[in-house]
Chains A and B, each alone.
Chain A
Amino acid sequence: MARNSVGREIPETFAGKKLIPYSDPWSLQPHAERSTRAIRRLTHNGSKLVGGLRDAIIASGLKDGMTISTHHSLRNGDYLLNELVKEIDALGIRDIKIASSSVHIVHAELIPYIRKGVITAFECGVNGPIGELVSKGELDCPIIVRSHGGRARSLITGEVPVDVAFLAAPYCDEYGNFNGFYGPSACGSLGYALVDAQHAHKVVAVTDNLVPFPAVPVGIPQTVVDFVCQVPRLGDPKKIVSSTTKVTTDPIGLQIAKYAAMVIESSGYMKTGFSFQTGTGGISLAVAEHVRNMMRKGNIKGSFGCGGITGYFVDMLEEGLFEALFDVQCFDLKAVESIGRNQKHVEMTAGTYANPFNCGSVVDRLDCAILSATEIDVNFNVNVNTESMGYLLHNTGGHCDVAAGAKVSIVVAPSIRGRLPIVRDEVTTITTPGETVGVIVTERGIAVNDNLPDLKAELIKRGAPVKDIRQLRDEIYSVTGIPKPVEFEDKIVALIEYRDGSIIDVVRQVKP
């Protein structure tokens, strides 16, 4: 065991891998060549069409012990991963590792296949029941949680070698050109899949919408696709939308949004060239509404909007408030519809978005970003992975990537959720290190990190309710009482990997 710089005990190895304890967000340097794969030559005029999913698995040469991936652009509407694992099981293949870009609640269907030994590890974070069962010790399956940028990094460096990528291809031709823009399972940006298409050893395009050659615009090209197979349905795009996509009406949420808008206004970046990222939650959208009004009022033309893109951002692009949208995944159907139509709504790979190991990712160009939090500690460390019972329930998404990249990362959260104090002495799990978090905004006040002294002074000058984070914690504790920490066993069930591949925290089995 070694103690990392945020005070967490990190083992030397996990699931056979040697671990690097986290030290800081910036200094770890890559020592790798870009991962390679065999160059393939398709038989002259050969066909790539192999029939159904089972035929594609056989054609790909998938064997016991290999690693597969899928993308999660259909989010909770994805049918492919569940179907794929069923077929893998039917073929008697065992000990498969899953390195998908994310796993959602819908993939709880995989649980029997984990018990059966078909799936033996996750090289990616998980949302929902799988993490809960693993946390309770009821399911034995090591999980390595990675951010969007960290996952891209792990494929590009070859740290996670994907043997076969099965990529949902909503608009695909028989030679393997495809995009996500059209068809019954259109999901918009294929930002995550673009990384797999370049780095997986074998690439299978799985489609429910085979169109005559050529499928244009080409998102993922024929040159990297080994096989094309057909399934009845890839998924239900209506289930892409996960949370509310309406501006909140909750007074606490509106107060938080108002304060967050004050932070943006005081940051000095709300001027020509402003760049911005926000999420899908009701508070995030309320902040976006403030931003939109500020930009209109000040006649400000922004540079770009980024991240998971919502219809809200599409409206701002079409109104001319931003020059471009960089889209790694579409968060609603309005965004899906826009990306196929708006030239300045740009599909962006997860590597371009957030990989720390390249010559600069898009998050590094962000001025202000709105992030969420399950818990925040007095050192500004943020937890989005585990919840009040200590169970691993959420994937990191782009949280730590965006926090590290944005000049001002703004974490918005209510101060209390059902008696749980959100600002507290210690977080259950550290997802994002405090030194990359700029500002905490709650309805009870704003805490500014010491590394942003000018912003703090400006907010005070403008009469914003700036408080020391310890003062904020004390005020919240006086209402909720001081919580007892959740108790854990020694056994480590999951790793929380920082974006550079070092280990920022571990998740231990929860005591019953």
Chain B
Amino acid sequence: MEILKKGQAGTMQSSDLMVTVEPADRLLIEIESTVKKQFEHLIRAKLEEVLAKNAVKSGKVSISDRGALDYAIEARLEAALQRAGGA
């Protein structure tokens, strides 16, 4: 899918995250997280997995994470992508 406009999903509450996706020339992932030192590798892997599943080739994905678990990351990114996909 293609990111046509800005899409956002999530909250800034503990154990949740805010995902913002925007159009961009290439694929860019920006991670800010309260557990970055211990979990950046797993957060990035999960984001990349969901982006690949949705065939996203370009766009800027920024997350502000408050210690969300994988399923929350997946759900929030899916929602943000759907909101950014036009229609």
Contact = CB atoms under 8 A, between A and B. Distances in A.
A486 B37 contact: yes
Contact of B69 (A388, A419, A483, A487): A419
A417 interface: yes
A77 interface: no
B67 interface: yes
A485 B35 CA distance: 11
Interface in B10-45: 14-15, 34-35, 37-42
B39 A481 contact: yes
Interface in B38-86: 38-42, 66-70
Interface residues of A, number: 16
Contacts of B66: 418
Nearest to B73: A419
Interface string A469-500: 00000000001110111110000000000000
Q: Pick the most buried of B15, B37, B42, B66: most chain A CB atoms within 10 A of its CB.
A: B37
B74 to A, nearest CB: 13
B37 A390 contact: yes
Contacts of B69: 416, 419, 479-480
Contacts of A483: 35, 38-39
Contacts of A389: 37
A418 B66 CA distance: 7
Q: Pick the most buried of B14, B39, B41, B69: most chain A CB atoms within 10 A of its CB.
A: B39
Nearest to B14: A418
Nearest to B67: A418
A420 interface: yes
A388 B42 contact: no
Contact of B39 (A390, A479, A484, A487): A484
A420 B15 CA distance: 10
Contact of A484 (B41, B67, B68, B70): B41
Contacts of B34: 388, 418
Nearest to B72: A419
Given A418-B15, A418-B67, A479-B69, A484 B38 contact: yes
B68 to A, nearest CB: 7
B67 A417 contact: yes
Interface string A183-199: 00000000000000000
Contacts of A486: 37-38
A389 B67 CA distance: 13
A419 B41 contact: no
Interface string A158-197: 0000000000000000000000000000000000000000
Nearest to A417: B67
B84 to A, nearest CB: 25
Nearest to B37: A486
Contacts of A480: 39, 69
Contact of A388 (B35, B41, B70): B35
Interface string A417-428: 111100000000
Given A418-B67, A419-B68, A420-B67, A388 B37 contact: yes
A419 B37 contact: no
A510 to B, nearest CB: 8
Contacts of B42: 481
A506 B78 CA distance: 43
Contacts of A418: 14-15, 34-35, 66-68
A486 B69 CA distance: 19
Nearest to B40: A484
A484 B37 contact: yes
Given A481-B42, A481-B70, A484-B41, 11 more contacts: A388-B35, A388-B37, A418-B15, A418-B68, A419-B35, A419-B69, A420-B38, A420-B67, A480-B39, A483-B35, A484-B39
Interface of B: 14-15, 34-35, 37-42, 66-70
8 contacts: A418-B34, A418-B68, A419-B15, A420-B67, A481-B42, A483-B39, A484-B39, A484-B40
Q: Which 3 A-B pairs have the closest CB atoms?
A: A418-B67, A483-B38, A419-B67
